[in-house]
Structure 1
Amino acid sequence: MKVGVLLAGCGVFDGAEIHEATLTLYFLDKEGVEIVCMAPNIPQKDVINHLTGQPMDEKRNVLIEAARIARGNIKDIDEVSVDDIDALIMPGGYGVAKNFSNFLEKGADAEVIPQVKRLLVDLFKAGKPIGAICISPVIVASALREAKPTVTIGTDIDVAKTIEAMGAKHLTCPVNEMVVDEEHKIVTTPAYMLGKSIKDVAEGIEKLVKEVIKLAKK
């Protein structure tokens, strides 16, 4: 079995959340599946100094930065088709909202970049499961508006309202649990949308990984 991991860069404030990404990779490896890391070959929306939280006057590439997490073993998402993987998991991080969409500017009217939307739609049409962690469910809700999936980002009322304005259904969920949309094969967990530390988010991510694999085997 091959499970894709879609990364939005490297670093919570402008890319993929590293703890969430690493835990996803760890739990997938523990389950014995083949991991296919991927990212779009595009410029980052911005670059944040993770020490100060302030913007930096430099440019970075999402694929090149994501390669840090993947230890270099990563593909351009444009080179990955629905036939190459049995499921997909998206860790969170601000980079998901910033680099994969215009969610921060457009809210409920957000559009997902074509590279990411194409793969999500193709997976959905093929009946292959999608796991979305932290803020990533907003990308799923936007890309799959017509499906009206059921997802969670935890307990954030404002983001939950925005997700429902996209046509999706939001369920509140504790950090150590997940929401499973059996009909659409979509699994979501709040992770750092709710958790305060790596031990808090690990349990929910492990459950999500196991559920995605289980759905992929059906």
Structure 2
Amino acid sequence: MHQIDLKRAPLITDNRYHKSDERTILVESARLARGRIESLAKLYTTKYEAIVLAGGFGTVKNFTDFFTKGINARLLPDIAKVLKEALVQKKPIVGVCAAPLLLAMAVKEFGQTGQQITFGTRAQSMDFLNILNNWGVEHIEKPINQCHIDTKYRLVTATAYMYENASAAEVFSSIQAAIERLNNLLK
């Protein structure tokens, strides 16, 4: 597993910022994964068959400046490098939950448009969808237990917790669908 090695953005708990905890994202990732985590700067896409981004709010918060720049957001350099290399090498990239936003940004920053992702329901994700539409991204709404595959860019996206009030079992089925599609792409 790999992660960026930067100071974390302030912790957000109950919509309040807390600056007392100074762990880096890399240290926090190792704590959560209970294992060895390498810096994302050390990830060489040629050594892997695919890239999988687990998603969640922290993915957008820690890998982009989306929450401060909105429509003008960019990926941070380490993740931009990895995703752009994977796109050039035509490797499958999986984005779950909020991570499809990063995939859309990567394709946009690569100077391309027309990518397709699933990013929750239209009703719940409208603010995001307006920006994605402006970037030339097509949102394909899928049921929670399905994923979407963009065959042009080899992007596999699943909604997970971006799907309204999804239960843990539904989130599992969403992620499972994405990983099964990834496995099919790798055969």
Tell me the TM-score normalized by structure 2.
Answer: 0.90
* 1:83 shift after superposition: 1.1
Q: Among residues 141, 144, 151, which one is paired with 2:104 in the alignment?
A: 141
Kept after mapping to 2: 8 A contact 1:47/1:60: no
Structure 1 residue 120: deviation in Å? 0.3
CA distance in 2, matches of 1:56, 1:206: 34
Q: Secondary structure at the match of 1:192?
A: helix
> Paired residue for 2:180?
210
Once the two structures are superposed, residues 15-34 of structure 1 have per-residue CA deviations (whole angstroms, 9 ceiling, x without a partner) of xxxxxxxxxxxxxxxxxxxx
Partner of 1:99: 62
Matches within 5 A, 1:1-218: 37-49=1-13, 52-58=14-20, 59-145=22-108, 146-148=111-113, 149-155=115-121, 156-194=125-163, 195-217=165-187
Q: Could you give the per-residue CA deviations for residues 71-97 of structure 1, whole angstroms, max 9, x where no partner exists?
A: 222211111111121101111121111
Structure 2: any 5+ residue segments left out of the alignment? Answer: none
Contact 1:131 1:188 in 2 (8 A): yes
3-state SS of the aligned residue for 1:55? strand
For residue 53 of structure 1, report the CA deviation from its aligned partner. Answer: 4.9
Q: What is the identity, as a one-letter code, of the residue corresponding to 1:172?
A: E
Distance 1:60 1:127 in 2: 35
CA RMSD of aligned residues (A): 1.4
State the secondary structure of the residue aligned to 2:11: coil
Contact 1:87 1:213 in 2 (8 A): no
SS in 2 for 1:153: coil
Q: Distance in 2 between matches of 1:150 and 1:190?
A: 13
Letter in 1 for 2:112: A
Q: Give CA deviations for 1:80-138 in whole Å, capped at 9, x if unaligned.
A: 11112110111112111111011112222110000000000000100100000111111
**Normalising to structure 1: TM-score of the pair?**
0.77
| Secondary structure of 2:16's aligned partner | coil
CA contact (8 A) 1:47 1:57 kept: yes
Distance 1:152 1:164 in 2: 12
Identity within the alignment, %: 27
